[in-house]
Amino acid sequence: MFPRRALARRYTATALVLGLLSTPTSAAWAGDRHPAPSRGRPAVTRVPSTAGSSTPLAGYGVQSTAKVGDSASAVSSPGYPMAGWHPAGPHSTVLGALLDDGVYADPFHSTNLKEIARSDFQVPWWYRSDFTVEDTARRTFLDFSGVVSAADVYVNGRQVASAQDVTGAYTHHELDITSLVRSGTNTVAFRVRPNDPDKDLTMGWLDWLQPPPDRNMGIVRDVLVRRSGPVALRDAHVTGRLAVPSLATADLTVKARARNDSGAAVTAEISGSVAGTAFSRTVPLAAHETKTVTFSPADVSGLHLDSPKVWWPAGMGGQPLYDLDLTAGVAGATSDTAHQRFGIRDVQAPLNSDGARQYLINGRRLLVKGGGWSPDEFLRWDRGYAEDRLRYAVDLGLNTIRLEGHLEPDEFFDLADRYGVLTLPGWECCDKWEGEVNPSGSGQKWTEADHVVAKASMAAEAARLRGHPSVLSFLIGSDAAPNAAIEKDYLDALGAADWTAPVVPAASENSSPRLGRSGMKMTGPYDWVPPGYWYAKREGGATGFNSETSAGPSIPTLDTLRRMMTPAELDTLWKDPGARQYHRSPSSVFGTLKIYDDALAARYGSPTGLTDYVRKAQLAQYENVRAQFEAYGRGATDPDRPATGVIHWMFNSGWTSLHWQLTDRYLDQNGSYFGAKKANEPLHVQYSYDNRSVVVVNNRTAPERDLTVRATLFDPDGTPRYDRTVNGVAVNGDGAHTAPLTLPSSVSGPARTHLLRLVLTDADGTEVSRNVYWLSTEPDTLDWNGTTWYYTPTTHSADLSGLASMARVQVSATATTTSSGGTSTTTVTVRHASDGSTPALLTDVHLVDAQGRPVLPVRWSDNEVSLWPGESATLTATYRTADLHGSAPGVRVSGWNTPERTVPAR
């Protein structure tokens, strides 16, 4: 995750939504909770006899081997008593199960996580589950991946696989258990071994958060029981070739492996349909023979599509999907079935003339705007929670999520396809995955067995992800690129899987022997820099493709802070910049907030209390995240070293954090969130910190004409100092920009802090974008020569202390709520209700319940708005009615210079 030059410091002791929110898709929104399994024995899974059925185990009982004295044969036999065992969900780490069972206090609060003994997880743990089968005539298989780190597998008292074979979080396994299955109750048991990310090709947390004491040992994906007849269908998939740029036609090729699992020769009828076209073929198979069956436009004319339904990222078009259905029949009876949902799209990623990776989707240039994804720290999968976060990504105007390791279950990619969120999956840095090629990392060198596991992992993930149109690329390296041997294994596995998306050797500037240059940079920053930093075409500034970068800390709202920290910890938070912050990072580099806090005090003035600290933090985060995305947006069509992509590090955190997040653990939205949302508006007016130009960026497809831009500079008390309007502004689409005016280098008056209000209106006079900046006559000065791998020092700070002199002003609010079909919409009108000339800066509106608690998740049309005297703004909040928990909604209004008040929203 960090540049190669920095890694030596990290591992030593000394230095180191699219549309409306829908009704819930899971049992409960899991902002700070996950649906717990039922107490006692886990549910018994009923496995049907239907050929082609694929049934996930419903859950497990888990227990430490230190507390189980019985033999593996006894533990894995039906009827074994599980007194004292803990229930676990269908995919759960050990600690995740124990947390859901109430064994430990809330790990997201204070330092509770530190109190969990690591020694409890240094021995294997049993996972045990029962399933029932009525018909033993079918063949039965266990199909799974997601074992962290390795497991011995038993069925009905017999070992069917050893940990030597079932190893690695991403390897896929299919075990034939037909001979062991009996009518009635059957038992499967996994003896899961402890995980060590530096020794095992699994997953770790680097410096993202305080690592879980169990290091995520467990089973984190579904274990399926599959039934079939004599012939099984495997590896069914569709590859497509889309005509670009016309998009007029697409050629589809269907492939699957037909495997005869019987000891006699058979003739199978392989039939299927896709895109309204049916096809079939007779395939003779010798005993235990496997053949690849292919259907292409050469033999099935209907697989040549005219006017195909093309999949687009959100904001560029729709997200239509197709379905492939296959059946293998033997002697007139169904033997197996297969299904795949896929999308038709074309992705190219050439290097531009500057050597930067430039993505093209369906022939159109794409500026990647994304964030780094974190799963739940304990890898507890909750579809509803994942869906809420992906809706947030769309709401923010992002088009991409990067997954550095922690490759989520299939449902995640199904959701990404549905919402039009592109994904950049890849292997993680610095631990065992880079142990062979990253001398500055902590990962151990590879053995021959590790090479086998790595190639098998690549093959399994390629087969799992290839049909998802949301998958933009696969990064086979992160901080380091693979060497020739590892690269060959990866590329061979990808080729064998018919992988069609681009493959990138690293998220850093490193190269690999066959793929060559990555076209990406990993130059930071990861800690605070001023907003003007992003406009420089150097380091992490807006040029090329920056695979992970941000200004570091992102202080949550007061609501979240009070949930995650004790009063004493909150006191230290604002009083002591040099204090170690448990909720920041285990890294010695990122253990404190000193760089951030020093900048906050230098630019805005020293905090006078917790509320003042958080208030100033929201302004700082809003201006900085906005500048990051605005700079890359403006630079996307530059003729000189254009910006091609930026991944905000990170999109979210897996626990309660003080850094690297656009949305917090509980899905509350702070200044970082709304700064990103403002910057990524479809049609947007913005200020340039480097040359004072006012720029209109058009992220819509079509060009815009007859726009009007107005720029007004004010003193903090509202005294106007400059006002200019430009009419007849035109700008092309697909990220083009134009600069209709430039602000003067100075204005009259003694103020050293100014407010800049930008307003963009269309030909009808309707306001389509409003943007407010707080600027200083004394700019931030950067020490570029002092740049480290994680930030560039500031030698002189902008003076924004004039904001402290702004008079308190009243903002009135009225709100009404309507509800339908499980969704509620609250409409809020906020109005500057005070006399005088002082504006209301960064007015925040929070939806709350009767107890004053935030109602989350919520999608705001806009928020953190600034109002001048007499101005008003109407905002809408859309959310699930159930998240009110029967309470009447209210609206809490506050701001930089606005007293807090709450009004009803019935």
pLDDT, tens digit (0-9, with 9 covering 90-100), for 22-33: 333 333 333 444
324 or 8: whose pLDDT is higher?
324
- For 145-172, write each residue's pLDDT tens digit: 999 999 999 999 999 999 999 999 999 9
Going by C-beta distance under 8 Å and a sequence separation of 6 or more, which residues neighbour residue 664?
554, 556, 557, 560, 652, 653, 656, 657, 670
Alpha carbons 895 and 906: distance in angstroms, whole number: 23
The identity of residue 685, as a single letter, is V
Task: List strands edge to edge, sheet with 683-687.
Answer: 683-687, 693-698, 736-742
Q: What is the pLDDT of residue 43?
A: 85
The pLDDT of residue 298 is above 90: yes
Amino acid identity at 114: K
Asked if 54 contacts 226 with a C-beta cutoff of 8 angstroms, the reply is yes
Supply the pLDDT for residue 25.
Answer: 34
- Judged against a pLDDT cut of 90, whether residue 560 lies above it is answered with yes
Cβ(278)–Cβ(248) below 8 Å: no
Taking the C-alpha atoms of residue 39 and residue 62, their distance in angstroms, rounded to an integer, is 12
- Band the pLDDT of 40: cuts 50, 70, 90: low
Extract the tokens encoding 620. 């700082």
- How much is the pLDDT for 452? 98
DSSP classification of residue 603 = H
Q: From the candidates 479, 487, 489, 844, give the one annotated as an active-site residue.
A: 479
Q: Which residue has the tokens 């030596």?
A: 8
Alpha carbon distances (Å) from 88 to 43, 91, 824 = 10, 8, 34
pLDDT digits (tens, 9 = 90+) for 666-687: 999 999 999 999 999 999 999 9
pLDDT of 42: 80
Residue 346 is a catalytic residue: no
Token pair listed for 607: 């905090």
Among 7-11, 270-274, 483-487, which stretch is predicted with the lowest mean pLDDT?
7-11
Helix boundaries (H) for 576-697: 594-604, 610-635, 671-679
Catalytic residue among 548, 664, 668, 844: 548
Residue 15 has pLDDT above 90, yes or no: no
Cβ atoms 301, 287 nearer than 8 A: no
Output DSSP code: residue 38: P
Mean pLDDT of 647-660: 97
Report the chain's terminal Cα–Cα distance, integer Å: 47
List, for residues 407-423, the tens digit of each pLDDT value.
Answer: 999 999 999 999 999 99
> Could you confirm whether 548 is annotated as catalytic?
yes
Q: How many CB atoms lie within 10 A of CB 773?
A: 18
